[in-house]
């Protein structure tokens, strides 16, 4: 029999989330969407996660670039704070560290994205946690990995160092920064994979471990999946703009009302394209893959003239009829509101914690579906320290008087 519909794969797993900004919170967002209880530990004196102060904001007056009232919430937090609890702890105070240690004893996972070495200097790093709980899985996400303590970086730095900036654009262009922060987004995916692998190993050994993910390393690893430098040596240019000559016909082509992507690297697919654009499949210039690659400029020129004479809809209909993979090039506005993506849970309407669903504001969903479990985001982001009483009182047993004393001492 399958699990109940409401069950989630990580139900019962407790994650202590020390992360801020994007890379770390994205990792814990995924864990929360998979069912883990994510306890976000924030600094009570600096406004918590810096993302809480990132524009734009949404409140009773709508969307704006500045806060106009106490109910205004950063869109970044509406996105990354979902399915999390928030507690505040001053980890620079001994009492704050003791409380954190008690939470570690109740937890399965700690995730942080400080600069490497910072957690150890605060006295809350892997050594501290593993002494208190030998089963803890401690995942550190940093720019350059645990072996490079103190070195800081941002997504653009990782894109620059990984080589990513030199694989997009046309030959001779300056470096091109990707608008999607791939450095800050790929590292968290590897962090989640590493965390789940360590938990799987713990089920056999009874012991947790340290999981170390560097953002520049994760992105460079992905760039390395194609041997760009060796292809250059063989005369295949790396930077080919919106086309991939070695897979021709393969690229982006303008229509008279937009653009479409055509990807037809196999003979069967390519022959369908040839017929649609008025070329013979017997034409020796294009009949085989090697011939198409050798004559890609001419082939793409013919395709470009054909698409330019038609509408996006008419071109796609003709290509679909012959089984050639093609799609319209959408704006981000169109893409995230696609009814199929929303129905599948790949994207989702964002929800304000007090005002409810925000009209025409969408964020990421969880693009994983299970046959016997649920997944996704069903709780809005918490206010700063919203769950102090629930977590410190309920989980750690602090009385109302003790919680009041902690507030008076500015520990929480």
Indicate if 302 and 368 belong to the same structural domain.
Answer: no
Q: Is 301 a catalytic residue?
A: no
Indicate if 59 and 38 belong to the same structural domain.
Answer: yes
The contacts of residue 27 (CB under 8 Å, 6+ apart) are 19, 111, 113, 139, 141, 187, 188, 189, 191, 192, 195
Indicate if 37 and 153 belong to the same structural domain.
Answer: yes
> Would 297 be classed as within a structural domain?
yes
Indicate if 208 and 274 belong to the same structural domain.
Answer: no
Indicate if 349 and 292 belong to the same structural domain.
Answer: no
> Would 126 be classed as within a structural domain?
yes
Indicate if 304 and 358 belong to the same structural domain.
Answer: no
Q: Check pLDDT > 60 for residue 328.
A: yes
Indicate if 179 and 65 belong to the same structural domain.
Answer: yes
> Would 234 be classed as within a structural domain?
no
Average pLDDT of 373-382? 96
In 139-208, which residue ranges form alpha helices assigned H by DSSP? Answer: 155-162, 182-205
Indicate if 320 and 355 belong to the same structural domain.
Answer: no
Indicate if 59 and 166 belong to the same structural domain.
Answer: yes
Cα distances from 85 to residues 78, 290, 310, in angstroms, run 13, 57, 53
> Would 127 be classed as within a structural domain?
yes
- Which of 301, 328, 355 corresponds to the end of one domain? 328
- Which of 328, 349, 373 corresponds to the end of one domain? 328
pLDDT of residue 5: 59
Closest C-alpha among 279, 158, 253 to residue 214: 158
* CATH number of the domain that residue 85 is part of: 3.40.50.10540
In 238-277, which residue ranges form alpha helices assigned H by DSSP? Answer: 267-277
> Would 394 be classed as within a structural domain?
yes
- Residue 170 sits in which domain range? 14-222+339-408
pLDDT of residue 271: 97
Query: How many domains is the chain partitioned into structurally?
Result: 2
pLDDT tier, 247 (very low <50, low <70, confident <90, very high otherwise): very high
Q: Check pLDDT > 80 for residue 287.
A: yes
Indicate if 30 and 176 belong to the same structural domain.
Answer: yes
Indicate if 322 and 214 belong to the same structural domain.
Answer: no
* CATH number of the domain that residue 288 is part of: 3.30.1540.10
- For 298, the token pair is 């001419």
Q: Check pLDDT > 80 for residue 2.
A: no
pLDDT of residue 1: 28
pLDDT of residue 3: 39
Cα gap 62→103, rounded to integer Å: 37
Indicate if 44 and 138 belong to the same structural domain.
Answer: yes
In 257-399, which residue ranges form alpha helices assigned H by DSSP? Answer: 267-277, 289-294, 296-308, 312-321, 332-336, 339-344, 388
> Would 3 be classed as within a structural domain?
no
> Would 104 be classed as within a structural domain?
yes
Cα gap 263→277, rounded to integer Å: 14
pLDDT of residue 152: 83
β-pair partners for 84: 38
The catalytically annotated residue of 108, 184, 212, 346 is: 184
- Which of 328, 353, 372 corresponds to the end of one domain? 328
> Would 5 be classed as within a structural domain?
no
Q: Check pLDDT > 70 for residue 13.
A: yes
Q: Is 286 exposed, middle or buried (0-12, 13-18, 19+ CB in 10 A)?
A: buried
């Amino acid at each position: 029999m399958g699990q109940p519909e409401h069950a989630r794969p990580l139900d019962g797993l407790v994650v202590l989330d020390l992360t801020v900004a994007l890379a770390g919170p994205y990792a814990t967002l995924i864990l929360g969407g998979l069912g883990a209880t994510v306890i976000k530990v924030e600094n009570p004196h600096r406004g918590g996660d810096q993302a809480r102060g990132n524009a734009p904001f949404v409140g009773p007056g709508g969307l704006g670039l500045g806060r106009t009232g106490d109910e205004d919430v950063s869109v970044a937090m509406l996105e990354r704070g979902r399915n999390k609890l928030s507690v505040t702890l001053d980890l620079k105070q001994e009492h704050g560290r003791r409380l954190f240690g008690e939470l570690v004893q109740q937890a399965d996972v700690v995730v942080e994205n400080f600069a490497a070495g910072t957690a150890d200097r605060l006295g809350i790093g892997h050594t501290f946690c593993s002494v208190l709980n030998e089963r803890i899985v401690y995942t550190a996400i940093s720019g350059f990995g645990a072996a490079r303590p103190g070195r800081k970086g941002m997504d653009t730095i990782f894109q620059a160092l990984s080589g990513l900036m030199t694989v997009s654009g046309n030959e001779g262009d300056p470096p091109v920064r990707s608008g999607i922060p791939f450095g800050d987004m790929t590292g968290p995916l590897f962090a989640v994979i590493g965390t789940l692998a360590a938990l799987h190993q713990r089920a056999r050994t009874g012991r947790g471990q340290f999981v170390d993910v560097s953002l520049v390393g994760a992105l460079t690893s992905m760039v390395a999946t194609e041997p760009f430098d060796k292809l250059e040596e063989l005369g295949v240019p790396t930077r080919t703009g919106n086309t991939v000559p070695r897979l021709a016909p393969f690229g982006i082509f303008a229509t008279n009302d937009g653009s479409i992507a055509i990807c037809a690297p196999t003979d069967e697919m390519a022959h369908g394209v040839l017929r649609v654009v008025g070329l013979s499949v017997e034409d020796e210039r294009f009949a085989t893959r090697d011939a198409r690659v050798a004559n890609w400029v001419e082939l793409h020129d013919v395709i470009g003239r054909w698409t330019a004479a038609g509408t996006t809809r008419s071109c796609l209909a003709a290509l679909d009829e012959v089984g050639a993979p093609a799609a319209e090039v959408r704006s981000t506005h169109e893409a995230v509101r696609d009814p199929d993506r929303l129905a599948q849970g790949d994207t989702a309407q964002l929800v304000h914690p007090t005002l409810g669903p925000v009209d025409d504001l969408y964020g990421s969903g969880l693009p994983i579906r299970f046959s016997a479990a649920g997944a996704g985001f069903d709780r809005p982001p918490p206010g700063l320290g919203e769950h102090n009483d629930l977590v410190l009182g309920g989980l750690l047993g602090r009385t109302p008087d003790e919680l009041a004393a902690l507030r008076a001492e500015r520990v929480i």
